[in-house]
Every structure is written in structure tokens, then in C-alpha cells.
Amino acid sequence: MKRVTIQLFALVALAFTACQKDQIVPGPGENKVLINSDFSAGTDGWTGDFTDYDVQQESIMDFSFRHEALPAPLNTSEKALKISGSNRSDDMFMFVKRKVTGLKANTEYRLQFDLEIASQYADNSVGIGGSPALAVYLKAGASATEPVKVKKGTYYDISIDKGNQSSGGKDAMLLGHVGAGDDVNQYKLIQRSNKEQPFTAKTNDKGELWVIIGTDSGFEGITTLYYNKIKVTAL
């Protein structure tokens, strides 16, 4: 009887352990870096796009996405992802995205985003529609399906739930704003992270996730940012 009880306990423990693994609850030292991009050699699989504007505004939005050197006074020998747009719609969303493969299928992952961005916008600046810093909301997230631009009538939207302006959505969370500090008048590197609040996303049946980083803007002017480093870790 004692041997049977021990065997039964072992089976229960094994089942519990398997359940825990399915829920992706790693032990100490088991965090897995999914993306660690510094863009020194290229875009590292990232692409850029823009949404939240009317079709008729496209020719005046001045969209640009490039792999380009950091601006002075930063180290111009280093390259980053430069993304820029003129917010004629008062609601521009400009973003970068990349697919992650090789994960467990249909499984939830807790993700930490650590970003380094070059910004020239002062926290105490003012502008039409809102501050060039505080009204440009930085978001990060992930989804099982690719985030793509979709046309709804005469309006370009996005296929995932990123929320709107200062509110996050099911597929993206708010990381803060792009302010680089008070009285800033040139580009400097800023860091943003959700270390204290991991984001949960579920993979598709192929074990894939699409990671998205972007800015939701209420500032009615030109915003130009450089993504210098993007790190995504499964906790």
C-alpha cells in the first residue's frame, strides 16, 4: 500500500509540473531572450508601417521608415530604425513589428520589453493637439496574428487591438511617452520597460508571435524617433 501511495503521489506531481510548464512559469534562471536587436548590421527582421489616418491624407503624412545612423550629438557610427511621420490625422500610429518563431504552440508567454530610443522631445514642450513628448504614447505588445494595416471605408486602421492614444488594448500595453526630460532640444537616448508589469500573449498553433512596438500620437506635428535597441524576454 505504501508503494502504491508513493507512485500515485509521483504521478500527481508529474502532472502538476507539466501543467505549470504549459502555463510558462519558468524557474530561476529560465528566462528566455526572444529578440535582442541593436541594428548594427541591419533591420534584424523588423519592418515598419503607419495607421490611423484617412486615405486622402496619405500624401501629406510624410511617412518614412529606414535603417539609418543615429543623429548627432549621438554616436553617428551606430545605426538604428528611424521612423517618422507628420500627424495630419491627430491620431497617427507608427509602428515596427517582427515575427518570433520556435515557441510552444497555443501557449501563453509573459513578455518583458526593454527599449532604447533616441528622442529629441522635451517633457515640458507644448504643441498643437498636445505635447510633442507627453502626447506621443509608446506601446509594446504581441499577438498570434500579424499586425497589418486594414482599410475600413476611407480610414486606415490596424488589425489588432492596440487600444487608442493613452489607453492600451488586448494586444499592446502602454509603456509611457517619448519625453526625453525637461528642456531637451537635441536627441538623447531614453529607456522604457515594462519590467514591473509583464505582458501576456498567446502563440498561434505554429508556435509564433508577432511583436509590435509603436507610438500612438495626439501631437499634430512631425515625430521622428530612432529605435536603437529592442529586447524581448519571455519570463
* Amino acid letter, 207: G
Average confidence score pLDDT of the chain: 90
The predicted pLDDT at position 23 comes to 42
* Amino acid letter, 29: G
The fraction of the chain above a pLDDT of 70, given in percent, is: 87
Alpha carbons 171 and 24: distance in angstroms, whole number: 18
> Which one, of 87, 80, 44, lies nearest residue 65 by Cα?
80
| Segment 172-195 mean pLDDT | 97
Angle subtended at Cα 214 by Cα 201 and Cα 198, rounded to the nearest 5 degrees: 35
Contacting residues for 193 by C-beta, under 8 A, at least 6 apart: 112, 113, 114, 115, 175
The predicted pLDDT at position 19 comes to 39
pLDDT of 14 higher than 90: no
User: How many other β-carbons are positioned within 10 Å of the β-carbon of residue 131?
Assistant: 19
* Amino acid letter, 51: T
| Segment 203-221 mean pLDDT | 97
pLDDT of 106 higher than 70: yes
Alpha carbons 62 and 138: distance in angstroms, whole number: 20
The predicted pLDDT at position 152 comes to 96
Domains present along the chain, CATH in parentheses: 28-234 (2.60.120.260)
The predicted pLDDT at position 127 comes to 86
By CB atoms closer than 10 A (0-12, 13-18, 19+), residue 155 is middle
pLDDT of 13 higher than 60: no
Angle subtended at Cα 80 by Cα 44 and Cα 167, rounded to the nearest 5 degrees: 90
